[in-house]
Structure 1
């Protein structure tokens, strides 16, 4: 899946699509958020702006430091549409988009994840990015809609039922 449209003005992709001038111009992309961790030379398009997010796709990488600046820049982009990409469009870029959806669309993390997953079914933020997103959700809303659980496949996020939404410190439930 090359490019996924998350909202009318927000797109998600991997690196290959971000380098394709036809993709960028046909979608009126005026802001690229590069979360690939690579220095990239984009096709020269009039008015194109690039925001670099120099974070590796590792659980302890500080992606959360970029949630507010990236969300604000996406929100301020009034000249066109925004493309957020990382190498494959599976971990860093969907995490940044979920943070944006929480901050400026008022969505819970659970709902933001559903929205992005509906448009790009193969996203899989790493466990560290999930924890940072849960911390961000708690900062924004004072509660969590997700928790981390240990499964046979590793530590994974799990949606909380509305009655379970936590108000104290986020629990990283590791004994399932």
Structure 2
């Protein structure tokens, strides 16, 4: 699992891809680590922002959305890498929150943008609900709704005439 580039200065990965050479090649000066179960030494010359969050639906990831967005926006020295254990749930959710706030994207647009470069993302249902609430705070509407399916509660795209409702994150 490689490091995925979201913007010219924003990357997403799991911890297995993080090594000094990969950080140097991408000029990473800020590493956002969203995991409480991982022991991770602070890389030399890279600021480490630790978020003690488990990949569980009830984990309060949303309490970190604004601080992560602000810290990424303040990182003018180089690039930022947001990672978690596998780069599938916590870190994509944080990147989606960043894209919604900093670029004004809807949750659906942010999801599609991240999915385009990292097709195996799968934020858990609790993170989707928190992202939905964040979108309502930012945009006063929601581009995604949660629906019960045979595979559990999943996000579904809504509100676009040209898009038929379809489940995301499957």
Q: Are positions 1:128 and 2:141 aligned together?
A: no
Determine the structure 1 residue equivalent to 2:77. Answer: 79
Determine the structure 2 residue equivalent to 1:96. Answer: 94
Contact 1:31 1:77 survives alignment (8 Å): yes
Q: Which runs of 5+ in 2 are unaligned?
A: 162-170
Determine the structure 2 residue equivalent to 1:64. Answer: 62
How large is the Cα RMSD of the aligned pairs? 1.3
Q: Which runs of 5+ in 1 are unaligned?
A: 164-176
Which ranges of 4 or more aligned residues in structure 1 deviate by more than 3 Å?
A: none
Deviations 1:131-176 (A, max 9, x none): 000000000010000001111111111111325xxxxxxxxxxxxx
3-state SS of the aligned residue for 2:32? strand
Greater mean deviation of Cα atoms: 108-117 or 148-157: 148-157
Determine the structure 1 residue equivalent to 2:103. Answer: 105
Question: What TM-score does the superposition give when structure 1 sets the normalisation length?
Answer: 0.88
Determine the structure 1 residue equivalent to 2:53. Answer: 55
Contact 1:35 1:93 survives alignment (8 Å): yes
The aligned length equals 161
Contact 1:15 1:36 survives alignment (8 Å): no
Quick one: distance in 2 between partners of 1:92 and 1:39? 16
